[in-house]
Structure 1
Amino acid sequence: MIRGTVVGQVWSTRRIDGIPAGAFLEVEVDGSGSRLVAFDVLGSGVGEHVLVTQGSVAASWFTGTPPPVDALIIGSIDASG
């Protein structure tokens, strides 16, 4: 699991069939400064701290034929301790 901060939205004018409702967000990985694009179904916004899962775990969350999504925001971090 990856901990990061949403730094922006990824806009697209077209999508392939099979990608469910949600948004693609740019997430900066805490501690490394690297960034990735993750699919979000929670409604996360810029500045939010989130948990991201990748690979087959992300794809298997979807029902039916999994869409070509390999990074999924699975949680919002309310506070760090």
Structure 2
Amino acid sequence: LSRLHPELLVSLDTTDTIIHFASGEADVAIRLGKGNYPGLYSEFLFGEQVFPVASPELLQRVGRPGSPADLLQMPLLIRDGAE
């Protein structure tokens, strides 16, 4: 892209912070959501699939969940600063 359009600056910022276009932070963003962003044009790119994963060591230590409700008792990976 940069060879075809050297006048464009493309940077990738993977954050869950909302970008405010009026402040000039960015011209385009990819957001997770239903696309209902007043005053903005949005286009559906793809859906997501969410599923649990666990290391063999964790399953050996705490056991395999027997039902979806058991997942509520499993430890979660949480990004620093997130709750």
How does the TM-score come out when normalised to structure 2? 0.19
Between 1 and 2, higher relative CO (CA 8 Å, sep ≥ 6) is seen in 1
Instruction: Specify which structure has the higher proportion of strand.
Output: 1
How does the TM-score come out when normalised to structure 1? 0.19
Which structure has the greater CA radius of gyration?
2
Instruction: Specify which structure has the higher proportion of helix.
Output: 2
